[in-house]
Amino acid sequence: MSRAIPRLVVAGTASGVGKTTATVAIARALRARGLQVALFKCGPDYLDPTYHARAVAGTSHNLDGWMMGREAVLSTFAAETAGADVALIEGVMGLFDGASPTGEEGSTAEIAKWLEAPVALVVDASGMARSVAALVQGFAGFDPALRVAAVVCNQVGSRGHLDILRQAQAQVNRSLPVLGGLPRDEAQRFPERHLGLRTADEAALPEERLDHWGAQAEAWIGLDALLEIARAAPPLPAAGAAATPGAATAGAQRGRARIGLAFDEAFHFYYADNLRRLEAAGAELVRFSPIHDARLPDVDALYLGGGYPEVHAERLAANAALRGEIRAFAGRGGPIYAECGGLMYLTEAIRTLDGRAHPMVGLVPAEAAMCEKLQALGYVEVETQARTLLGGAGLRFRGHQFRYSELRPSQRAVPVEPSAAPAPAEQPPSPSTQAPLPIEHAYSVRRRRGGQVSREGYRTASVLASYVHAHWASNPLVPEGLVASAAAHRKERAR
């Protein structure tokens, strides 16, 4: 059985050419026409989907070929396009850039081919005229199995400039037209931070700016022609249900455990697919704020995702009550899983670029120090070296790293070899006591590029923290293991 899903990949010639602006503008304009738009982001990025979500008041899902695999990509796409009139898939980096310099693994092109989706190529046309045709022809002819169906020019200087670009491309290939563009508008640019775009909260991205770009797309881009291209995409075969758990699975197990999800200005990097898998395994997700809340909610485990704790370090440090609550939760044996920014929060302090050390929770005997230069970037594969709150030893899953901080162990850190079972829970010593705190490296982490292996995954009693942003489509046993640990702690609490 197959299903017709109108769809279009919005790809770029490189990073920074305006893929997110074009995707948001087109999505906003289509929504204004009354269409239901499903949005997706190729690759591991957390920030671009926040812009997508604001554009259509919905959820955007990541599609990553290397971390998820083909089956999970197809099933996620099928599940999240149910009821949609059209799907837009924003690419990552340049169209053919991915996990390897010699293959398409992890690239936008790989996802487009899996989805049998036509591609609209976004070109930064500033300072360009006839050369646009040479650039487009190179991309269009690079992979005959991929259909580049339209061109959208960004940073256009004027209507006259856009006409020149159209004529140049039409003279070379009329079947691959420039279907419009977006004018240069520095005042309406999306704000940036060291990870690229800033999170699209109301302060960074007011509704008026979204409406502005939607209106620009309606005025400058041939939306009817783009929709015609999207609707011409062939029907997709039905995806397997096993790769993406749905509402029926979640209903059968609902109520196994409650997991506290750190979610506020400092912590918000979560894959929607990961959260759905926790719910399908029976977890109820309860949001709390390490910045604003003085008490933890009544939960059986904590999940601290990534974000910008360094930006909000002073406010996190000021909330001593919540930091104490988390230490006490760990002391009662409560499972705590943390990724990247969550790991930084669990250390003794975050040292910001101005040299100031801001006290944090103190469950990991180290300091997270911000650096001027990027400290890690790229895909990784993890193998657990001992039983953790995610499951038994030998568990493998994939993820990625992107960080500007490094971990500096404190004097009270006592490295120990991974043990067969987690250490029994006990009240963690306060960082101010300088009492020794044993810590295990429970992960073996292999880099996708280069193959270097390092030890990571910081475990102390019921805590597991890492710089790795994991995608659990790579191993569905991981979210099941986390929920099982939370459910076991619930039973312990009930005794």
- pLDDT tens track for 163-222: 999 999 999 999 999 999 999 988 777 766 444 445 666 667 778 999 999 999 999 999
pLDDT at residue 197 in the model: 45
Q: Is 12 left (phi over 0), alpha (psi -120 to 50) or beta?
A: beta
pLDDT for 76: 96
Q: Look at residue 246 and tell me whether its pLDDT is greater than 80.
A: no
Which pLDDT score, from 0 to 100, does residue 189 have?
79
Judged against a pLDDT cut of 50, whether residue 415 lies above it is answered with yes
With bands split at pLDDT 50, 70 and 90, how would you rate the model's confidence at 237?
confident
Is the pLDDT reported for residue 435 higher than 70?
Answer: no
Pick from 153, 157, 149, 94: which is nearest to 123 by CA? Answer: 153
Strand partners, 391: 388
Which are the catalytic amino acids? 340
Q: What is the 3-state secondary structure (H, E, C) of 389-448?
A: CCECCCCEEEEEEEECEEEEECCCEEEECCCCCCCCCCCCCCHHHCCCEEEEEEEEEEEC
Higher local confidence (pLDDT), 134 or 251? 134
**What is the share, in percent, of the chain residues with pLDDT greater than 70?**
89
When the pLDDT of each residue in the chain is averaged and rounded to a whole number, the result is: 91
Q: Determine the Cα–Cα distance for residues 162 and 182; give it in Å rounded to an integer.
A: 9
For residue 427, what pLDDT is reported? 54
pLDDT of residue 200: 63
Q: Cα(22)–Cα(41) distance, rounded to whole angstroms?
A: 13
Q: Cβ distance 17 to 127 under 8 Å?
A: no
State residue 251's pLDDT score: 52
pTM exceeds 0.85 for this model:
yes
The β-bridge relationship of strands 301-304 and 267-269 is unpaired
How far is the C-alpha of 87 from the C-alpha of 110, rounded, in Å? 17
Residue 138 pLDDT level (bands cut at 50, 70, 90):
very high
Q: Give the pLDDT confidence score for residue 179 in this predicted structure.
A: 98
Residue 368's DSSP bridge partners are: 350, 407
Average pLDDT over residues 81-99: 96
Which tens digits make up the pLDDT trace of 257-305? Answer: 999 999 999 999 999 999 999 999 999 999 999 999 999 999 999 999 9
